[in-house]
Amino acid sequence: MRLTFLIIFILVFLISCNRKPAKTQPECLESKIKKEVISHAKDYAAKQLKAPTTSVDGFGIITLKDDLKRYRIDPSKIFTGQIDADENSDALVTLTSFYKQDPGMPEHLILINTNGKLVLDKVFELDLKIVKLKDRIITGELHTKPRTSPLYNCSHCIEIANYQYKDGDLVRLK
């Protein structure tokens, strides 16, 4: 009797451990938004290049390039949340650009949710590493030294800056 009970208990335990948890609605929605953002980013980059080729590395980073310029899209750098005044979830993605081998200015694409679809609203060239998007505030790391300075990548030469998207413009908050 004990042996039967023990075998049944172990079987139930093993079956419950092998079940995959059901995806929650917000995870599915965020995944859908990220796919849509990647599609917009690829379209934007392709329009900036002549006859681009596309590749994806093992980390999922997408590279579009031609003979002179290259764009990198990192899916982990896609931020979703509210950007404009409405209650819809918008998105922000950074494209890293390179001219030949030299790094270019990062391009930040603001995608606004309009009638249930993301629409590319504005592109900003700003030497800013986006860290977070929360409560309509875009937080990023801003270099205090110019790119030509040897101290450009100095960990002490970075300040945290907050921005807000207002009327089609990125406004720095104080």
151 — pLDDT class (breaks 50, 70, 90): confident
Identity of the residue numbered 143: H
Residue 120 structure tokens: 């590319």
d(CA 82, CA 84): 6
- pLDDT value of residue 31: 79
- pLDDT value of residue 116: 87
Kindly state the average pLDDT of the residues 48-58: 93
- pLDDT value of residue 107: 94
Kindly state the average pLDDT of the residues 107-135: 92
19 — pLDDT class (breaks 50, 70, 90): low
Statement: residue 112 has pLDDT above 80: yes
Q: What is the pLDDT of residues 66-110, one digit of tens each?
A: 999 999 999 999 999 999 888 888 999 999 999 888 888 899 999
CA distances (Å), 148 to each of 5, 143, 145, in order?
A: 72, 12, 8
